Structure 1
Amino acid sequence: MTRSQEGRIPNKGSGIHVGTSGWLYPAWRGTFYPKGLAHRRELEYLSRCVDSVEINGSFYSLQRPERYLGWYTQTPEDFVFSVKGGRFITHMKQLRDVDAPLANFFASGVLALDQKLGPVLWQLPPRMPFDPTRLAAFSRLLPRSTGAAAELARRHDDKLRFEPYLHVEQDRPLRHALEVRHPSFATADAVRLLREHDLALVVADTAGIWPYLEDVTSDFVYVRLHGAEELYASGYTDEALTAWAAKVRVWRNGLSPAPEHLVAAPARKREREVFVYFDNDMKVKAPGDAIALAEKLGLHRVPPDAGPREAS
């Protein structure tokens, strides 16, 4: 099960990607999505408005290769997917004894995204404190290229109940981001370990509930905006989005926006790719905020006519 290479081009662009965390939300239908748009066309529609999306269904369960292949074909050539790692690994196993679960995850079809595959996001539960030994051991297991991910995927176990996807047309770098939610991560030691293992510390705006850190720990910056005042619900004002656009430009140019949000020495200056995802989906704020931020950054895409209206 593979794609044709015909007409494929590598990702090009500004080095800044803005989108939403997920796209299958009933509340978006008839509000963001045009009334009557078939559910199967929602990703297609969103991908004409923003240039990236975070796949979050992969957090709840293993997806299947045909789904990843479908998402690939529904999106433009320059589109980028980030993929959220499974909660079985992060929340149930809490990063311990995860060799087989990691193999299953990468065998489930992630590699079918090919050149559209962006970072893999690992979100830790709030109860999980900073444990340098455990985190270092997990970091060493993570594949750093799609070829290495395919090798790992070959070690899947019988909990993968479908044909694994192991095909890699071109070996590409594979990057990882870590979203932390325990206050013990707000230390220089944690930042140093993440830099040592090349894990991007997620900049997470969580309405003040969980740690907010801007320390740069990799060659890319990963931002998740969960809501300015109410978690998963409240939107961002024009003033707030202007401020976020300014931060994104600073990160892109290799600097740190505000030293008061750092717990370690600033990273050395270098141009960095930036990924920003809005996760304030409950009141249909995420797509509008993503489009508005993209516009401020000169990245907005104009969606085509939605086409024939039909029930999904």
Structure 2
Amino acid sequence: MPIRLGTQGWNYSAWTGPFYPDGTRPAEYLTTYSRAFGTVEVDSTFYAIPAAKTVRGWASRVGDDFTFALKLPQEITHEQRLRHASDQCAQFFDVARELGAKLGPVLIQLGPDFAPDELPALQEFLPQLPRDIDFAIEFRQRGWIRDDVLALLTEHEVALALVDARWVPRDTMLELAARPTGRIAYLRWMGPNRDIVDYSRIQVDRTHELESWAAVMPMIASRVRTAYGFVNNHFGGHSPEHVRMLQRMLGMPIVKPEALSDQLGLF
């Protein structure tokens, strides 16, 4: 199945011990992470466009089959609200392409105050997106989930991000899984709140939620080129273990923590 699972971010010192082997240095996190999972969502690009040198450094630390999902900068999504942002978009996409074949999808994460009455901005923005990059869009108001918006996304082959969070009911998202709008699928497990601050262990049992998603993921993957899925630490406390839970449910190969320890010793 064309399914790629990973976490939202990799630079967490609390993962050292439960995920990264003891003694792993921060500079080794990404390489070690890439031996366990085949993709990662990069949160830092939401806050600023990275330097091309930084992006090339990411690419150099992972294998050829690894992909990075990037967030479109908040300057475009939250400050410009998708309008008059062609220069910033061009700059961001030029930097993103430094990843080469390791560039995965780009997430257009809209703010919770981006309401359906701003549909004209979306209608103007989507035709400007480059065709050589896959896109997903995340709405944080349920009023966006309607047929004309889904038709617009389908027209421009932009995936509706399927998000397990407080903004849209899970049952609605699970139903939308059968209606892909893009060349790829993009799933995010966020959790209902941000109360969790200890990322070293699972603190909330999310087995039921993950089982619900695992039941539909083969169907999702069969309808798109690749289905990407990313777990946030706030979903239950320790996102690497939740990714492994999904892998087990889907019958995917799992790299065990002890294997990462063995590999670290080779470098």
User: What range is the shorter-chain TM-score in?
Assistant: 0.7 to 0.9
Q: Residue 89 of structure 1 aligns with which residue?
A: 76
Question: In 2, distance between residues paired with 1:232 and 1:74?
Answer: 32
Give 1:88's aligned amino acid.
E
**1:291 maps to 2:244:** yes
CA offsets 1:248-290 (integer angstroms, 9 cap, x no match): 1111123xxxxxxxxxxxxxxxx54211000135864211101
Matched residue, 1:17: 4
What is the aligned counterpart of 2:222 among 245, 248, 253? 253
Task: Report the counterpart of residue 111 of structure 1 in structure 2.
Answer: 97
Q: Residues 25-60 of structure 1, C-alpha deviation per residue, up to 9 Å, x if partnerless?
A: 232233322222110111111111111101111111
Contact between 1:32 and 1:284, CA under 8 Å: does it hold in 2?
no
Q: Output the CA distance in 1 between the equivalents of 2:218 and 2:126.
A: 29
Gaps of 5+ in 1: 1-13, 146-173, 255-270
* Aligned 8 A contact 1:220 1:274 in 2: yes
**Counterpart contact for 1:251–1:272, Cα < 8 Å:** no
Q: Which amino acid aligns with 2:23?
A: G
Q: Does residue 179 of structure 2 align to residue 220 of structure 1?
A: no
Alignment map for 1:105-184 (pairs within 5 Å): 105-107=92-94, 109-130=95-116, 131-145=118-132, 174-184=133-143
Which structure 2 residues correspond to residues 259-298 of structure 1 after superposition, within 5 A?
Answer: 271-281=224-234, 284-298=237-251
Residue identity (%): 31
Deviation per CA, 1:197-250: give whole Å up to 9, x if none. 2111000111x34465324211221100002x5447465533432322221111
Query: What secondary structure sits across from 2:264 in the alignment?
Result: coil
Shift of 1:104: 1.7
The answer to whether structure 1 residue 240 and structure 2 residue 209 are counterparts is: yes
- Matched residue of 2:7: which SS? strand
Deviations 1:118-164 (A, max 9, x none): 1110100000112332111111111111xxxxxxxxxxxxxxxxxxx
CA contact (8 A) 1:182 1:211 kept: no
Normalising by structure 2, we get a TM-score of 0.85
CA distance in 2, matches of 1:61, 1:73: 21
Change (3 A) 1:177 1:287: same
2:29 alignment counterpart = 42
- Judge conservation of contact 1:19–1:53 (CA < 8 Å) in 2: yes
Alpha carbons of structure 1 residues 232 and 135: separation in structure 2 relative to 1, 3 Å: farther
| TM-score normalised by structure 1 residue count | 0.74
SS where residue 195 of structure 1 aligns?
A: helix
Distance 1:235 1:71 in 2: 31
1:161 match = none
Partner letter of residue 251 of structure 2?
A: G
Larger Rg: 1
Separation in 2 of the partners of 1:223 and 1:136?
Answer: 23
Question: Is the Cα–Cα contact under 8 Å of residues 136 and 197 in structure 1 kept in the other structure?
Answer: no
SS in 1 for 2:36: coil
SS class of match (2:213): helix
Q: Deviations over 1:59-84 (max 9, x none)?
A: 11111122211211211221111111
Distance 2:156 2:195 in 1: 30
Distance in 2 (CA, whole Å) between partners of 1:180 and 1:282 is 18
* Structure showing the higher helix proportion among its residues: 2
Which whole-Å CA distance do the structure 1 matches of 2:218 and 2:48 have between them? Answer: 35
- The alignment partner of 1:137 has SS state of helix
